[in-house]
Amino acid sequence: MLIGVDVGGTNLRVGVVQEKRVIAEQRVHADFSRLCHDNPPEISLAAIHATLLQALRNALKEHPETRGIGIGFPGFVQPATGHIPHSPNLPGLRDIDLATPLREALGLPVIVANDANAAAYAEFLLSGQEGGLIYLGLGTGVGGGLIHHGKIVQGDHGMAMEIGHLIVEPDGRECGCGNRGCMERYASASGVTLNYASATGETLDAQEIAQRARSGDTHAQAAYAQAGERLAQALAHILKVTDASRVIIGGGMSKAWPLMRETFERRLNADLIPALRGRVEISLSALNDQAGIIGAALLAGVCDD
């Protein structure tokens, strides 16, 4: 039995994983983005540690037979050390070590992985299929993971497959990574908020914009259509580099996929190398937004073996 944690921009989900399935899940409201925005880094980091420790202690009380913990984190994660040099959605934090204090406090192996890499790993293992797989996680930001020859492609600095930071609009919107015009500033939940605000002057969260889009608000529909288009623009580049044959889309915002699908498909088809058109399988995750939890837990299991 393993525990997987999916750290999101606004909440934290802790799942107990057995036989590649989540058998218990707990959600804790934790707005780490806001916390980091409003506090000096040492205060935010102490609060993040305390929140994680409390959530893990609660889960371990129920499942003391747990033998390892994997944490999927939205940021660049150094493959060798598990240190997080920088997370665009958690401003101010630099070179943090989440695992060591938790390992010492809980007396269990703890690993940290990039959240989208963890999700990609779960999607790959559970699909039972070979071949290249790209996972796109649509949430507060847009994460990307690539499985090539059965392995996660992490890069030398843990920054491979940062698809959300491909620049789709030169000199465009400012991004937490330090650049401008990154895809996730248009195609994530926060991007949809900005798309809508730039047309209407009204700042709403992405879920509310989705509701308005479904009730016929054309600006809300356009905000999602723009997200779909930007996502496809970046994905076409990635597919030209990786030639993966499967793409799985997950994350909380994938629930609004029907609002993005048409522009996504049109742009992807237009931008792909013609010989690749129609040969890439695009699907929504069937793991009920639990891919990140399962993947983080399974990665902890691999390290423990």
Q: Cβ closer to Zn ion: 36 or 102?
A: 36
Which structure tokens are listed for 131? 């071949």
Which structure tokens are listed for 21? 């399935």
Catalytic positions: 115
> Any residues with CB less than 8 A from the CB of 265 and at least 6 apart, and which?
232, 282
Assess 146 for contact with Zn ion (CB under 5 A): no
CB 14 within 8 A of CB 5: yes
CB of 38: closest distance to Zn ion in angstroms? 21
Amino acid at 289: D
Assess 232 for contact with Zn ion (CB under 5 A): no
CB of 203: closest distance to Zn ion in angstroms? 20
CB of 75: closest distance to Zn ion in angstroms? 12
DSSP state letters, 122-142? HHHHHHT--S-EEEEEESSSE
Amino acid at 20: K
Strand-pair category, 69-73 with 2-7: parallel
CB of 183: closest distance to Zn ion in angstroms? 8
Surface-to-core class of residue 126, CB atoms within 10 Å of its CB (0-12 exposed, 13-18 middle, 19+ buried): middle
Surface-to-core class of residue 156, CB atoms within 10 Å of its CB (0-12 exposed, 13-18 middle, 19+ buried): exposed
Give the number of residues in contact with Zn ion, rule: CB under 5 A.
5
Q: Please state, in angstroms and rounded to a whole number, the distance separating the CA atoms of residues 34 and 8.
A: 12
Which structure tokens are listed for 100? 């060591």
Q: How far is CA 165 from CA 8, 84, 138, in A?
A: 18, 17, 13
CB of 186: closest distance to Zn ion in angstroms? 11
Contacts with Zn ion in 161-220 (CB under 5 A)? 165, 175, 177, 179, 182
Q: Which long-range contacts (CB under 8 A, 24 or more apart) does 171-175 make?
A: 175/88
Interacting residue ranges for Zn ion, rule: CB under 5 A: 165, 175, 177, 179, 182
